[in-house]
Amino acid sequence: MAATVPNRLLYINGEWREPVKKNRIPIINPANEEIIGDIPAATAEDVNIAVEAARNALARNGGKDWASATGAHRAKYLRAIAAKITERKSELARLEAIDNGKPLDEAAWDIDDVAGCFEYHADLAEALDKRQKTPIPLPMDTMKCYVLREPLGVVGLITPWNYPLLMAAWKVAPALAAGCATILKPSELASVTCLELADICMEVGLPPGVLNILTGLGPEAGAPLATHPHVDKIAFTGSSATGSKIMTAAAQLVKPVTLELGGKSPIVVFDDVDLDKAAEWTLFGCFWTNGQICSATSRLLVHDSIAAKFMEKLVDWCRNIKISDPLEEGCRLGPVVSKGQYEKIMNFISTAKNEGATILYGGERPQHLGKGFFVKPTIITDITTTMQIWREEVFGPVLCVKTFSTEEEAIELANDSQYGLGAAVLSKDLDRCERLTKAFQSGIVWVNCSQPCFCQAPWGGKKRSGFGRELGEWGLENYLNIKQVTQYVSDEPWGWYKSPSKL
């Protein structure tokens, strides 16, 4: 039976709504290149309607329905959403796999994380009540001061296709926990599970307009959202090029933005490691999610004394990776998301060969798969630091390798990048690991592993990987306005000016 997806409309003001222009975008299963459905294509007209719905949701009943309700009130909805996601896990994981191409086991893991993200932010919403009116000690007895944490307002959330529902949860959950009204614009390349989130929100009775979900193309839906004068903040995860455009547009309105952008993260392997353990973490760090991870540790720096043996290990482990339709049992590498992404990756590999690099393994379509956007896991050696493959983000299952001889050289090579999202170090010498942890110019460091991520810990980068942090208590702060309230508590006059009554 052919794979199909539910037929949905836009989700605006708590109900399904047909796009004003009635346009739709086909959904292509990247594993077999077949059209399996379509999604609604929003335009600026739909953005305007959604923004109005969001502003009305904030103002409804004087804000008591959502924005100024207790965090505990909002937490009930977040927990209800989490429960429904868990209940529908198998369905959502399957939809994610056929829409995005990631292995079913991985998609199921993602859905668990989605539910956990909503649960965690329910806890933060409840804790927010206790943090209200936090007193601030002052040097004057006649003054008292406290802080209110209030929702920023209407926020636009623009998310990528590599973790469709999870990246949405990373933004939607804290924004709702803070009391904001939201407009989610997922990537047109993988939006299916985000529309199912809309269905879940309808089931749990989320107040109308608090979350609106607009699928559609970036220029037609994302750009009008980013530039809308009544959207108070934009949070974006995606490419550095698009992030730069969003930042430029937001600057015209002095609108705050949070940007989680590209990466070209290093993984440094020293000569004291267990080769098999290090090989698995190295491949996992680059090939997880079919290599389509902004934080992928795709620049391998290996100590020259073990380089030859380590390359042999990597190739042996690569040969053991099952590449197949994501729904097949045991699949560990599925197709990349689209034809355009496939062609982009193959062009990167071709350019690397033309520049003199060596394709040690992969670099082609798997022979047993005639259809689908599959790229064999690829290892590239004989790299120079000026090559495109070393400097630019590929966003595919491509690992490039350089050797080093000293710790200082490894640090210099690791930091020689315009990006600064993640970095990893593998060594039994924990003092050395700590030195590299401090030396890495990145927002995230993994020690003796690569890519684990937990919603309790902050996520974000530096340099051209963006700024701001998602997840943990830091992620909630993205959606809060901090208001200082200072009160004069003395019965005595202020006494700065002479009183007219005493002249």
* Residue 501 clears pLDDT 90, i.e. is over it: no
- Distance CA(421)–CA(408), nearest Å, equals 20
* Residue 260 clears pLDDT 80, i.e. is over it: yes
CA distances, 479 to each of 179, 250, 458, 503 (Å):
8, 16, 15, 52
**Residue positions counted in the chain:** 503
Q: pLDDT digit string (tens) for 124-170?
A: 999 999 999 999 999 999 999 999 999 999 999 999 999 999 999 99
Using DSSP, state whether 425 is helix, strand or coil. Answer: strand
Q: What pLDDT shows up at residue 117?
A: 98
- Residue 454: count other Cβ atoms within 10 Å of its Cβ: 12
- Beta bridge mates, 346: none
Q: What pLDDT shows up at residue 15?
A: 98
- Distance CA(54)–CA(168), nearest Å, equals 17
Asked whether 153 and 232 are in contact (CB, 8 A), the reply is yes
- Distance CA(485)–CA(334), nearest Å, equals 54
Q: Which residue has the tokens 């990776």?
A: 321
Of 474, 471, 465, 453, the closest CA to residue 266 belongs to 465
* Residue 78 clears pLDDT 80, i.e. is over it: yes
Torsion 477-130-174-232 (CA) sign: negative
Q: pLDDT digit string (tens) for 57-72?
A: 999 999 999 999 999 9
- Give the phi and the psi of residue 398 in degrees, each rounded to 5: -130, 120
Q: pLDDT digit string (tens) for 363-418?
A: 999 999 999 999 999 999 999 999 999 999 999 999 999 999 999 999 999 999 99
**C-alpha torsion 17→20→24→25, nearest 10:** -100
Asked whether 102 and 334 are in contact (CB, 8 A), the reply is yes
Half-sphere exposure in the Cβ direction for 328 (13 Å, CA): 11
Residue 73's contacts (CB-CB under 8 Å, 6 or more residues apart) are none
Using DSSP, state whether 455 is helix, strand or coil. Answer: coil
- Distance CA(455)–CA(458), nearest Å, equals 8
Q: What pLDDT shows up at residue 395?
A: 97
* Residue 2 clears pLDDT 80, i.e. is over it: no
Asked whether 54 and 212 are in contact (CB, 8 A), the reply is yes
- Distance CA(40)–CA(18), nearest Å, equals 7
Tokens representing 496 are 């700065």
- Residue 468: count other Cβ atoms within 10 Å of its Cβ: 20
- Distance CA(230)–CA(389), nearest Å, equals 41
Q: What pLDDT shows up at residue 3?
A: 59
Q: Over range 1-13, report the average pLDDT.
A: 84
Q: pLDDT digit string (tens) for 273-292?
A: 999 999 999 999 999 999 99
Tokens representing 128 are 């927010």
DSSP 176: H
Given the residues 119, 260, 407, 470, the one annotated as active site: 260
- Give the phi and the psi of residue 90 in degrees, each rounded to 5: -65, -40
Q: What pLDDT shows up at residue 503?
A: 65
Q: How confident is the model at residue 1 (pLDDT cuts 50, 70, 90)?
A: very low
- Residue 175: count other Cβ atoms within 10 Å of its Cβ: 30
CA distances, 296 to each of 89, 162, 288, 451, 452 (Å):
26, 12, 8, 7, 11
Q: What percent of the chain has pLDDT over 90?
A: 98
Asked whether 433 and 447 are in contact (CB, 8 A), the reply is yes
Q: Over range 320-328, report the average pLDDT.
A: 98
- Give the phi and the psi of residue 477 in degrees, each rounded to 5: -60, -25
- Distance CA(23)–CA(39), nearest Å, equals 9
Tokens representing 206 are 């989320």
- Beta bridge mates, 426: 269
Give catalytic status of residue 260 as yes or no: yes
Residue 224's contacts (CB-CB under 8 Å, 6 or more residues apart) are 43, 44, 47, 48
- Distance CA(464)–CA(471), nearest Å, equals 20
Whole-number CA gyration radius for the chain: 25
Given the residues 294, 318, 331, 455, the one annotated as active site: 294
DSSP 213: E
Give catalytic status of residue 393 as yes or no: no
CA distances, 230 to each of 19, 136, 237 (Å):
20, 32, 21
Task: Output the DSSP codes for 121-157.
Answer: HHHHHHHHHHHTTEE---S-TTEEEEEEEEE--EEEE
Lowest mean pLDDT segment, chosen from 201-210, 247-256, 401-410, 445-454: 247-256
Q: Which residue has the tokens 């209200």?
A: 132
